[in-house]
Amino acid sequence: MSDEVDPAVEAAWAYEDLHVNALFRQWAVPVLDAAGVRSGSRVLDVACGTGVLAREALGRVGATGAVTGIDVDGGMLAVAESIGPGVSWIESNACDLPFDDNEFDAVVSQFGLMFFPDRAQAIHEMLRCAKPGARVVVAVWDALERSEAYPISVHLLQRRAGPAAANALRTPFVLGDTNKLRGLFEEAGASTVSIDTRHGTARFPSVRTMVEADLRGWLPVMGVSLDDDLIELILDEADDVLSEYVTADGEMVFDAPAHIITAQA
């Protein structure tokens, strides 16, 4: 029997161990608050990844509620399943949700919308699956220039690895413009849209772990693989150019603001 590790599952564990704690976990509570999730709610988490938001929702809805998480990536779902029993995990595309109309009391999604092939269609699907009057709540990063550290990382990648690598790191920030965001939700059929921009804090164990997670974890997901020599060169330079975000105990801490959009059909 082969004990080879599936690369998609390995990448998902790396995501859970590094990116979730450093960036994503802190948004679960405000997203669920905005969605009005409470005891007995039926909740759908779209682009659930390894399930940090769905697990938090499960704790709120209790035995009388139910939580479903969907994601297009089987590796993410394998990890979600192993650490989040009690949630229904389903492999599916956000643009074509496998649910009836009006099924959920709340539909939530954090930091996935920027990657969907048809964003308006995905929002339309989320609105369709929400019961009349239920909220659809989506979190996306604010613009790159309003985040700290990442503009420097992008610039470093542009200089050392070229535009494809730099663009892979720009993509998570492409929905930062609130006017365009509002227009996107209205185009998708939302009748009410409110946007709450919030302060967030990224916290990595070190500069090296942050940049290495992006170079070895994130860039390959976006179709960009760098060779080991280039990765080492970039990591050495990163220690210098990102030193202003290093705390006395060696952690890397910086502002990472996000928009929480609340919409109704």
Ligand X SMILES: C[S@@+](CC[C@H](N)C(=O)[O-])C[C@H]1O[C@@H](n2cnc3c(N)ncnc32)[C@H](O)[C@@H]1O
Q: How many residues does the chain have?
A: 265
CA 258 – CA 241 distance, rounded (Å): 24
41 or 93: whose CB is closer to ligand X? 93
93 binds ligand X (CB under 6 A): yes
Largest CA distance in the chain: 55
* Mode of pairing for the β-strands spanning 104-110 and 42-46: parallel
81 or 237: whose CB is closer to ligand X? 81
Tokens 């693989």 appear where? 225
CA 234 – CA 211 distance, rounded (Å): 8
Among 8, 9, 14, 72, binds ligand X (CB under 6 A): 72
Among 8, 9, 14, 20, binds ligand X (CB under 6 A): 20
193 binds ligand X (CB under 6 A): no
Among 37, 79, 94, 265, binds ligand X (CB under 6 A): 94
> Cβ of residue 244: shortest distance to ligand X, in angstroms?
25
53 or 184: whose CB is closer to ligand X? 53
Among 89, 104, 116, 185, binds ligand X (CB under 6 A): 116
Residues in Cβ contact with 64 at an 8 Å cutoff, skipping those fewer than 6 apart: 39, 40
48 binds ligand X (CB under 6 A): yes
* Mode of pairing for the β-strands spanning 252-255 and 201-204: antiparallel
68 binds ligand X (CB under 6 A): no
Do 12 and 50 form a contact (C-beta atoms < 8 A)? yes
> Cβ of residue 40: shortest distance to ligand X, in angstroms?
23
> Cβ of residue 248: shortest distance to ligand X, in angstroms?
29
- Binders of ligand X: how many residues, by CB under 6 A? 20
DSSP state of 111: S
234 binds ligand X (CB under 6 A): no
20 or 246: whose CB is closer to ligand X? 20
Name the nearest CA neighbour of 70 among 93, 101, 53, 86. 93
DSSP string of 22-44, one letter each residue? IIIGGGHHHHHHHHT--TT-EEE
47 binds ligand X (CB under 6 A): yes
18 binds ligand X (CB under 6 A): no
Give residues in contact with ligand X (CB under 6 A): 20, 24, 47-49, 52-53, 71-73, 76, 93-95, 110-112, 115-117
